[in-house]
């Protein structure tokens, strides 16, 4: 199966520059990096794969010259939607995975000797997830590279 042609011209939802999309409206803006496909998903989930922040926030961040990085609540919304997320903190990679079969969230450092922390709900993860005793929600401003698990 060949690649889907991106031959439809539209304005980027975030920056207004010209972007080529396919018949499904999918295409990344070469100017700002926004994936044009997230609007329907955003209405339902408040985020949309492959974009980590809502469109309204992306527009504001673009105006301010800032990257499209999710806050802690947006990170959790992405986890709810996608099920697997990752981020870096102080040079270490951390993984968060939701297992729907037994409604559990696992949180751990991506290393062989890492302890796995398990949470029974998003609320428990939101209020208790920590790194070295520091709540994740309180140190989120120091988190880097928050993204979907690759």
Give the model's pLDDT for residue 46: 64
Give the model's pLDDT for residue 39: 57
Give the model's pLDDT for residue 43: 63
pLDDT greater than 90 at residue 113? no
> pTM here?
0.85
Kindly report, residue by residue over 38-87, the tens digit of the pLDDT. Answer: 555 566 656 666 889 988 899 999 999 999 999 999 999 899 888 999 99
Domain spans in the chain, listed from the N-terminal domain onward? 8-63, 72-148
Cβ distance 126 to 108 under 8 Å? Answer: no
| Of 78, 88, 90, the residue nearest 125 (C-alpha) | 78
């Amino acid at each position: 199966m060949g690649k889907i042609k991106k031959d439809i011209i539209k304005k980027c939802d975030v920056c207004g520059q010209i972007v080529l999309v396919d018949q499904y409206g999918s295409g990344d803006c070469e100017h700002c990096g926004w994936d044009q496909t997230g609007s329907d998903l955003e209405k339902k989930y408040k985020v949309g794969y492959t974009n980590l922040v809502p469109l309204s926030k992306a527009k504001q961040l673009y105006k301010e010259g800032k990257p499209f990085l999710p806050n802690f609540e947006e990170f959790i919304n992405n986890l709810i939607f996608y099920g697997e997320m990752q981020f870096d903190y102080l040079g270490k990679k951390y993984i968060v995975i939701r297992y729907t079969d037994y409604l559990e969230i696992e949180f751990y450092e991506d290393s062989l000797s890492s302890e796995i922390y398990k949470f029974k709900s998003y609320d428990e993860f939101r209020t208790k997830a920590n790194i070295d005793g520091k709540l994740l929600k309180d140190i989120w401003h120091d988190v880097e590279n928050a993204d979907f698990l690759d």
